[in-house]
Amino acid sequence: MKNEKITSRDIDFAKWYTDVVNAAKLASYTSVKGCIAILPNGYAIWEKMQNELDKKFKELGHVNVQMPLLIPEGLFNKEKELVEGFAPEVAWVTIGGSKELEERLCIRPTSETVFCDFYKNYVKSYKDLPLLYNQWCNVLRWEKETRPFLRSREFLWQEGHTIHSTKEEAEKETKKMIEVYKWFHHEILAIPSIIGLKTEKEKFAGAEYTYTNEALMFNGVSLQCGTSHYFGQKFSKSYDIKFTNKNNKEEYAYQTSWGTATRMIGAVIMVHGDDKGLVLPPKIAPKQVVIIPIGNEEEIMKTCENISENLNKNGITTYIDLTEKSPGFKFAEAEVKGIPIRIEVGKRDLENDNITFVRRDTSEKITININEDLVEFTNNLLRKIQNDMYNKALRRRDELTFEAHNLNEVKKIMEKTPGFIKACWCGDEECEQKMKEIKGLKSRCIIENEKLIDEKCVVCGKQAKNLIVWGIQY
Amino acid sequence: MKNEKITSRDIDFAKWYTDVVNAAKLASYTSVKGCIAILPNGYAIWEKMQNELDKKFKELGHVNVQMPLLIPEGLFNKEKELVEGFAPEVAWVTIGGSKELEERLCIRPTSETVFCDFYKNYVKSYKDLPLLYNQWCNVLRWEKETRPFLRSREFLWQEGHTIHSTKEEAEKETKKMIEVYKWFHHEILAIPSIIGLKTEKEKFAGAEYTYTNEALMFNGVSLQCGTSHYFGQKFSKSYDIKFTNKNNKEEYAYQTSWGTATRMIGAVIMVHGDDKGLVLPPKIAPKQVVIIPIGNEEEIMKTCENISENLNKNGITTYIDLTEKSPGFKFAEAEVKGIPIRIEVGKRDLENDNITFVRRDTSEKITININEDLVEFTNNLLRKIQNDMYNKALRRRDELTFEAHNLNEVKKIMEKTPGFIKACWCGDEECEQKMKEIKGLKSRCIIENEKLIDEKCVVCGKQAKNLIVWGIQY
C-alpha cells in the first residue's frame, strides 16, 4: 500500500484522482462498462453522508418512500422536455421472463415521471397536501465518458419529490432544499459552495427554474453538487395531477424535486485530497482516529487499548492498527485513507508519559501528556481540523475566483488556470454559446444578492442583466 | 380512513392482507406490472428493520459495499446451476443510449456472479481474506404472480457475500448468519421461526447447502424468511477465484451468501395483524406511541405536549394526533397503522389526574396516575407488548404444528387447516414430489437436533433419514 504510486496532483490531476480512488480503495472498475463497485472505504463515506442528509430531511418533515426502478415508455414520454433531456441516455429493458415485452421499460434516469404517476392517483384534496417524499436509490444514465463517482452510468443518490397546493409553498421548498445542500457542503463536507439559479439553457429539463449548488475543485474545475428544481404546474399538467382546493375548485398541483449523489465523494477527494491520498473532513470520516503502536511492548499495547476504548466510548470512532506491517507503512496507509488524526504510541514517548497526535490535513505533530483529558483534546482537534479544512478550501476557491470585464480578460484567465469567473451577461443564449467556445466555459449559476460588476454583457456589450459565475465543469 | 373496510381475516385471508396493506398505506400498486411503491408507513418499517440488521452485521465484522445493478450475459452464464435457477425470471436490457447493445445485460436477480467477478480480481493471498461484504439494494425477478411485499418483481433486500480461506470458516459464517436471522425474527419482529437445512430439491441454485429460516403465518401458510447458503468452492471454480494459501499454494476460495428482504414486512402483517389492521411489534414501530387529546381544552393540550416531550426525550417515539378528526376516527387510524400504544388524554380523566393507555395488541385499557413515572411505565409496557406478541405468535404456531405418521394423516390435517407438518422422510426426491400433490406441500426444512418421530418415511415407508417440517408456502 505504501505509496501505491499516487501521481502528483500538480503533474496530472486526472491521473492523481484515479490513483487516489484506487489507493484508498474507494471504488473499483467492473465488467460492466461505466459502472463501478463502491468498496467498503467508499461506501462507509456515503453512509456518513446519507445519515447527515437523511436526518436533516426528516427534521424538515420529509419522509422516505421507494418507487419502482422501471418506467413504462408511455409514461416516460408524457413530459416532452424531460424526454428530450433524458431519452438519449436511458437503458431499455425489452425482455422479461424470456419474453419480448409489449411495452419496453426504461431504467429510471430520474423519477419525476414515476412520482407524478403516483401523485395523480393519490392526491385528491388540498388536505392531502403537501407530500414531502424522498427516496434513496440507484439511477442509470448511459454516459459516454465516465469517471468513478463523478460520472458513472449507475450511481446512488437521493431524489426528493414534493407536491404542494400553492405556488408559494412549492417555491419556498425549492429554496429551502438548495440551502440544505449548501449547509451540507459547508458544515459537513467542509466545502465552500455558491448557490444560484441556472440559466434557461442549463436548467433541468422540464423545470421552470433550477437552483444549483456549485463547488470548485482544487484544479479550478467546477462541480455541480446538488440541484433543486421548481416545476410549477408543468408536470402536473402533463400528468394530470389535480386536487380540490380550499374554494372547492379543481387546480393543478405545484411540484419540486431536488437531489444529490455519490458524486459528492468525488468532490471531497478533489477539494481536500493531496499527494498522499484522501483527506477526510472529520464529520464524514468513518474512522476519525487511528492509533498506531510503535513497537509491541505490553505497556504500549495496553496504552493503545485504553486510548481506543476511552475515545470510542465517547463517540469518537477509533481503531488500533494491529497488522504486522511496519509503523511507516501503517502511517502511509492511514494517510492514503484520509483518517483525520493519527495517534502514535511509542516507548520513548511513553517514558515521559507522552503520546503524539498527527493531523492528516497539515501533517502537524502535537505531543501531549497522556494524563490530559484525551476526549476533550481529540474533540477540539477534530473540530479544528474540520474548520481549518473549510478555510483552506475557501482560500483556494478565492484564489481561483476571478472577475472579467471583457472577452479578452476571460481568455487570459483561462489561458493561465481555470476557476470561477465572475462576469456580467445580457441574458442572451448566443452569448452563453460564445463563452463556451473558450475552453468549454459554461454559466454555473446566476448570482443573486450581489451587485453587477459591469453595466454591460462581457460578450456582446449590450445591457447586462445578471452577474454570472462561469466555469468549466466535470 | 375509519374502517376503510378491512375484510375479516377469517373470511378471506388474502383479501384481508391486501386490505391491510392499503388501509395502513404501506404500499401501492404502480403502472409497472408486479412492482409496488413502498409508501412512507411501509418504508419507515423497512428502515427500522435495516437499522437492526445493519447494526448486527457490522458488530459481526461485515462491511457494506455497492456492486452494479447490471450483469453482462457472459458473466451471468458462468455458473450453470445458478443460470438454470434464475434465467427464466430475469429482465434483459438490450438497448443503451439509443443503441442496440453488443452483449445484453440482465438486471440482477441476485449478485453472486457480480461479487465473484470482483473477488476474482481482488483476492490474491490468504492475507486478503476473509472479506465479509454486504449490500443493501434492489433486485428484480420476473415473477408471474405477485403480491405486495411477499412476492414482487422488484424488491429491496440485503445480500451478504463472504469469501474465506478455509472451509471451516465459511461454514461457520453460513451457520452464524442463519442464527442472525433467527435472532432478528425472535427478538425484533416477535416472530417465532424454525431454522434448518433445505433439501437438495429446495436449496439455492448453485449452493452446496442452504439454511433457511421458516415462519408460519396466521393462516398456517409458511413463509421463507431469510436464507444462508454455503457455496464451498463451486462458484470459485466457475469464476476462477484463487488465492495463495499459507503453504504458498494456489487454492480455490470458499464462499457464502445470505439475504433477507422487504418480504419481512409481509411476515409482520400476516403473523401479527388483525381485523382492525396492522399490529407492530414495538421494536420496529416507527412511532411507538400516539397521544390523542379528547377535547381541545388548554389543560388537555398542555398535558399531551408534556407527555409527548417527556417520552420523546427518553427515546420513545411519540406523536400527538392534532388533526381535526373525531377521537373515534383517530383511534381507528392509529389502530390500522398498528401503533403499539395509544394514550388518551380526556377532561374527565384529568380531573382525577389520570390518563388512559390502550394496547394495540390486546385492546387492554390501563388507567394510570399522571404523576407516575411515565417513561418507566411506557418502557415496561412496550417490553411487555413485544414479549406478549411473541408468545401469542408462538402459541398460534404450536396450534398449527402437527405430526403425521402416514399419508392419510397428512391429508386429514391438510383438509382441516394448513400448518407445519412434522413427518419423517427417506431422502428421496420422489417422495417430496408425492407430498407436493397434497395441496402443494413442500419440505420447508430438515430439522436438526431433534429425534426422528418415526423410523419410516411418511410417504414410501422406507428407512427414514430426516425429520422434515412440511408446509405450503407463499
Encode pLDDT of A158-199 as tens digits.
Answer: 999 999 999 999 999 999 999 999 999 999 999 999 999 999
Identify the closest residue of chain B to A37 by CA–CA distance: B67
Residue B44 resides in a domain: yes
Chain A residues closer than 8 Å to B107 by CB = 69, 93, 107
In this structure, the answer to whether residues A246 and A200 fall within a common structural domain is yes
Residues in A touching B37 (Cβ below 8 Å): 65-68, 114, 118
pLDDT at A83: 87
Alpha-carbon gap, residue B303 to B292, rounded angstroms: 11
Closest CA of chain A from B28, distance in Å: 9
Instruction: Look at residue B46 and tell me if it is in a domain.
Output: yes
Indicate whether A409 and A374 sit together in one domain. Answer: no
Of A46, A63, A118, the CB nearest to B30: A118
- Under an 8 A CB cutoff, do A71 and B156 touch? no
Class of residue A422 by CB neighbours under 10 A (exposed 0-12, middle 13-18, buried 19+) = buried
What pLDDT is attached to residue B81?
Answer: 87
Could you give phi then psi for residue B362, rounded to 5 degrees? -120, -10
Nearest CA-CA partner of B25 in B340, B337, B341, B274: B337
pLDDT in tens, A251-269: 999 999 999 999 999 999 9
pLDDT digits (tens, 9 = 90+) for B375-423: 999 999 999 999 999 999 999 999 999 999 999 999 999 999 899 999 9
- Work out the minimum CA distance from B223 to partner chain A, whole angstroms: 23
Select from A31, A65, A71 the Cβ nearest to the Cβ of B38.
A65
Residue pair A417/A400 in contact by the 8 Å Cβ criterion: yes
pLDDT value at A445 more than 60: yes
Contact A122 B28 (CB under 8 A): yes
Quick one: what percent of chain A has pLDDT higher than 70? 99
Q: Are residues B426 and B331 located together in one domain of the fold?
A: no
What's the whole-number mean pLDDT along residues A367-374? 96
A142 to B35: CB separation less than 8 angstroms, yes or no = no
- Could you tell me the CATH number of the domain that includes residue A175? 3.30.930.10
Per-residue CA distances from A269 to A158, A239, B245 (Å): 20, 40, 35
Q: Hey, are the CB atoms on A40 and B64 less than 8 Å from each other?
A: yes
State whether B201 and B92 are in the same domain.
yes
Closest CA to A252 of A212, A208, A202: A208
Q: With respect to residue B439, please indicate whether it lies within any of the assigned structural domains.
A: yes
- Determine whether B99 is exposed, middle or buried from the number of CB atoms within 10 Å of its CB (0-12, 13-18, 19+): exposed
How far apart are the C-alpha atoms of B471 and B474, rounded to whole Å?
Answer: 10
CB distance A138–B69 less than 8 Å?
yes
Which of B32, B68, B87 is facing A105, going by the closest CB pair?
B32
Choose the final residue of a domain: B396, B416, B441: B396
Query: Does residue A373 lie within any of the structural domains?
Result: yes
Same structural domain, B72 and B172:
yes
- Are residue A117 and residue A233 in the same domain, yes or no? yes
What ipTM was assigned to the predicted interfaces of this complex? Answer: 0.96
Whether A57 has a pLDDT exceeding 50, the answer reads yes
> With an 8 Å Cβ cutoff, are B91 and A95 in contact?
yes
Residues B426 and B392 in one domain: no
Residues of A with Cβ-Cβ distance to B95 under 8 angstroms: 91-92, 94, 104
Strands of B222-232's sheet in order across:
B63-64, B131-140, B154-164, B254-261, B222-232, B209-216, B193-197, B442-447, B466-471, B420-425, B401-403
Judge contact between B256 and B160, C-beta under 8 A.
yes
Residues B337 and B420 placed together within one structural domain of the fold: no
Give the residue from chain B lying closest to A95, CA to CA.
B92
* pTM beyond 0.90, yes or no: yes
Which residues of B are less than 8 Å from A69 in CB distance? 35, 107, 138, 140, 154
Same domain, B73 and B160: yes
Mean pLDDT of A114-120: 97
Q: How far is B89 from chain A (nearest CA, A)?
A: 4
Cα–Cα distance for residue pair B270/B282, rounded to 1 Å: 16
Q: Which residues pair with A229 in a beta bridge?
A: A210, A257
Q: Using the 8-state DSSP alphabet, how is residue B89 labeled?
A: G
Q: What is the pLDDT of residues B18-58, one digit of tens each?
A: 999 999 999 999 999 999 999 999 999 999 999 999 999 99
φ, ψ of residue B226 in degrees (nearest 5): 105, 130
Is residue A407 situated within a structural domain? yes
Instruction: Check whether residue A265 and residue A308 sit in a common domain.
Output: no
Q: Is residue A46 part of a domain?
A: no
Q: Which of B63, B66, B104 sits opposite A37 (nearest CB)?
A: B66
Sorting pLDDT into bands at 50, 70 and 90, what band is B1? very low
Do B397 and B219 contact (CB within 8 A), yes or no?
A: no
Q: Which of B373, B384, B361 is nearest to B311 (CA)?
A: B373
What domain range is A451 assigned to?
401-471
The count of domains in chain A is 3
> Would you state the pLDDT for residue A82?
85
Q: What is the secondary structure of A85-143 as a DSSP string? A: HHGGG-EEEEEETTEEEEEEEEEPSS-HHHHHHHHHHH--BGGG--EEEEEEEEEE---
Report pLDDT digits (tens) over A376-395. Answer: 999 999 999 999 999 999 99
Contacting residues of A for B44, CB less than 8 Å apart: 63-64
Q: Nearest chain A Cα to B153, which residue?
A: A68
Based on the domain organization, do A224 and A125 belong to the same domain? yes
Does the beta-carbon distance from B30 to A114 stay under 8 Å?
yes
Based on the fold, state whether residues B264 and B295 are members of the same structural domain.
Answer: no
Which residue of B55, B70, B141 is the best one to mutate when testing the A interface, meaning the one whose CB has the most A CBs within 10 A? B70
Q: Give domain status of residue A29, yes or no.
A: no
Average pLDDT over residues B141-170: 96
* CATH number of the domain where residue B305 is located: 3.40.50.800
Alpha helix positions (H), A141-233: 167-183
